[in-house]
């Protein structure tokens, strides 16, 4: 009997998509973000916790309660949340300056 592999999904919200389209990220940043996505798809958010030396993934507090942050560079962060049991990770913001303040 084969064990069924359940893959996660990564959905990128429009505001984060705009950042990708502006091409403000380096090729190295994009490669690391691609690896982050692959890690999520294959093992879910818990897979990020197995490599704190790479992702430094952690929950956020204050105005970002319910969200998490992962590193993609020394200053760059991916801010995301996990929705329901649909196993979808929603990337809601990419910040290169380690600024967690919500912007309108």
C-alpha count within 13 angstroms, C-beta hemisphere, residue 67:
20
User: Which domain does 24 fall in, by range?
Assistant: 9-95
pLDDT, tens only, 8-35: 888 887 777 777 777 777 888 889 989 9
Q: How does DSSP classify residue 69?
A: E
Classify residue 15: in a domain, yes or no. yes
Cβ neighbours of 93 (radius 10 Å): 19
Contact 79, 92 (CB under 8 A): yes
For 7-38, the DSSP string reads PPEEEE-HHHHHHHHTT-S-HHHHHHHHHHHH
Q: Is the pLDDT of residue 87 over 70?
A: no
Question: Is 70 part of any domain?
Answer: yes
Q: How many domains does the chain have?
A: 1
* Structure tokens belonging to residue 87: 């196993």
């Amino acid at each position: 009997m084969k064990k069924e592999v359940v893959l996660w999904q990564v959905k990128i919200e429009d505001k984060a998509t705009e950042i990708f389209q502006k091409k403000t990220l380096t090729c190295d940043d994009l490669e690391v973000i691609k690896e982050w996505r692959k890690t999520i798809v294959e093992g879910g958010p818990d897979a990020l916790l197995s490599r704190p030396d790479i992702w430094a993934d952690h929950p956020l507090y204050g105005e970002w309660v319910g969200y998490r942050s992962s590193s993609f560079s020394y200053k760059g962060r991916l801010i995301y949340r996990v929705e329901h049991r649909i196993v979808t990770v929603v990337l809601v913001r990419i910040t290169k300056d380690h600024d967690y303040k919500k912007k309108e």
